[in-house]
Homo-oligomer: A and B are copies of this chain.
């Protein structure tokens, strides 16, 4: 199928060369600091996610990697993507079966994702308060929370205007 890029119109956070470079260098800095091996495939995968300004499916990533001389089989993409997610350089968007570059890779953080049904953009929003509320709800049930998936579906600012 044709490459379904989610997020052609991205949030200001990582639009433009400036934002992209900032994110990438923050990520590289943290990798160095933590002794994490941001190998060529992993780095390139991260660059692809950043350049996409939104979420990419594993097979979208694979297609690009393959075209650039990396491996051609699914595990190549899944391994790189899962490593990026595990180490906080990317996030998995479960509703879209897709992955997106972390917009704030310099710190550990809880994130929520705002998924626009109008333009398929995915925006990473700070989720401190949401996570606190969720932790509280979990505690009430005697449940000890490790991590959470928080994804909102709706319309971004631009698409609300367009439909009005």
A134 touches B155 (CB 8 A): no
B117 touches A142 (CB 8 A): no
A148 touches B143 (CB 8 A): no
B152 touches A138 (CB 8 A): yes
Cβ contacts under 8 Å, A150 to chain B: 134, 148-151
When the two chains form the complex, which single residue of B114, B133, B148, B151 contacts A133, counting CB atoms closer than 8 Å? B133
Cβ contacts under 8 Å, A29 to chain B: none
A112 touches B127 (CB 8 A): no
Given contacts A148-B152, A148-B153, A153-B147, contact A130 B137 (CB under 8 A): yes
| Nearest CB of B to A78, in Å | 16
Minimum-distance CB pairs A-B, first 8: A142-B157, A145-B154, A94-B94, A130-B133, A146-B154, A149-B151, A114-B143, A133-B133
